[in-house]
Amino acid sequence: MRATFEGAMTVDPQTRLVEARDDTNDELWSVYADWLERRGDPRSELLRLSMLVEAGVEDEAVGARAAELEAKLVAPVEDAAGGFELGWRRGFVDRLRAEEPWERGETSAADRLSALLDAEALRLLRTLEIDREDRDDVAMGALGQRGTFEWARAVFEGRSLPQLRRLGIGGAPSEDMHLSQTSNWMMTSTAPGEGGRIYRPDRYVGDISPALAATPGLRELEVAGEGIRVDASALPAGLKSLRVATRYLRQTTLAAVSAARLPELERLELWLGFWPDSVVDFEGPEGEEYYGPETSPEDLRGLLAGGGVPALRELALVHCAYMAELLEALATSPLLAQIEALDLSYGFLGADQLGPLLDASERFAHLRRLDLSHHQLDDEALAQLRARFGEALISEAQFGREGDAALQLLSF
């Protein structure tokens, strides 16, 4: 059976696993183990033993031999990883979280990451997360100098990682990021000797195109940070989920995502953000490099037309400074009819700004979920919305009410 299966392949089992969108086919894994064994790779035995353990086989000999092989094959890779987190599956690294430490050692984080990505144990790597260690006790003036992604950017240049399915840059957005976004507070650093002038934002990401060029098989992409840049042509066509979390989404990046053709995209989340006008005497960072001009619903025109994302069903446009105008654009957009779950949370909508939604409520009536949490809606407005949308409406934590965490932050 295995010989027939392998003989029918036009490419080797390793390439099949690299290219597979669903790598749960145990028959393919078994053929891969045979293929490794013929090439004298000791991981073939560890792979088979791991599959036995996963299948629930309880055998002391199996466990002892697996432990012996792990000490031989896994431990050296863990040592080489240093402080990076590795997740293992069947003798191979399935997940890698690479975080640049604040205190730099003799070997740079970039060199360690580059060496790991070249290792045989990572040939089937599925998830890669890139971040930077946070240090709460570091003076603000140094924060912006330590970008979230800059340290790793060169590692991706000229490299091919077709096995990757999920890429995370900047870590998962925290509740603190939601609150600081909501209060329009932007952690920034200042250039030495320039006082309050904004030099560049904390958690700066910059251009992620080199990472995307190296990972054409991505299915999930999540980027969190500031100054995020990407071209429409760089976004992998096979993406199913895209999340961009930032305190202010650059106009060029928003336009790129809006114009991209992503035929398999099912879920999209964009933090549109607020222009950083809360800083006294704000003159703007160095132009387009960090933020660029203010955005508007016009920058979403390509997305709202719907042609580039025919499979999109879940849409989140959150932290939007022009939410009332966005509601009006959504109400008349071709895209709305295909959306099943719409998240418009964190936007400071008042009761007097619900006209586009209430007047065109039939256009939104098909939604199974409509999230209007974290706005400024009073009880009367919420009652009107519940009468129109029933259980589909999510309206938690309206700003300005007792116990509202964002209000507490604003009054701090």
pLDDT tens-digit series, residues 12-42: 888 888 887 777 889 999 999 999 999 999 9
38 CA to centre of own chain = 39
For residue 19, the 8-state DSSP code is: H
Q: Of the given ranges (14-23, 86-95, 304-313, 366-375), which has the lowest mean pLDDT?
A: 14-23
Q: How is residue 233 annotated by DSSP?
A: G
Q: What are phi and psi of 288, to 5 degrees?
A: -65, -20
C-beta of residue 357 within 8 angstroms of C-beta of residue 381: no
pLDDT of 6: 46
Nearest alpha carbon to residue 271 among 288, 249, 255 = 249
Please give the DSSP secondary-structure letter assigned to residue 289.
G
Mean pLDDT, to the nearest integer, of 93-111? 86
* Range from 1-5, 239-243, 294-298 carrying the lowest mean pLDDT: 1-5
DSSP string spanning 46-107? HHHHHHHHHTT---HHHHHHHHHHHHHHTHHHHHHHTT-EEEEETTEEEEEEEEE-SS--SS
SS (H, E, C) 355-404: HHHHHCHHHHCCCCEEECCCCECCHHHHHHHHHHHHHHEECCCCCCCCCC
Q: Give the C-alpha separation, 233 to 82, whole Å.
A: 35
Topology given in CATH for the domain delimited by 86-410: 3.80.10
Kind and range of the H or E run holding 269: strand 267-273
The pLDDT tens digits for 55-79 are 888 888 998 998 899 999 999 999 9
Q: Which residues belong to CATH 3.80.10.10 in the chain?
A: 86-410
pTM: predicted TM-score of the whole model, two decimal places: 0.86
Tens-place pLDDT, residues 126-172: 999 999 886 543 434 444 456 789 889 999 999 999 999 999 998 76
State the pLDDT confidence band at 397, using cuts at 50, 70 and 90: confident
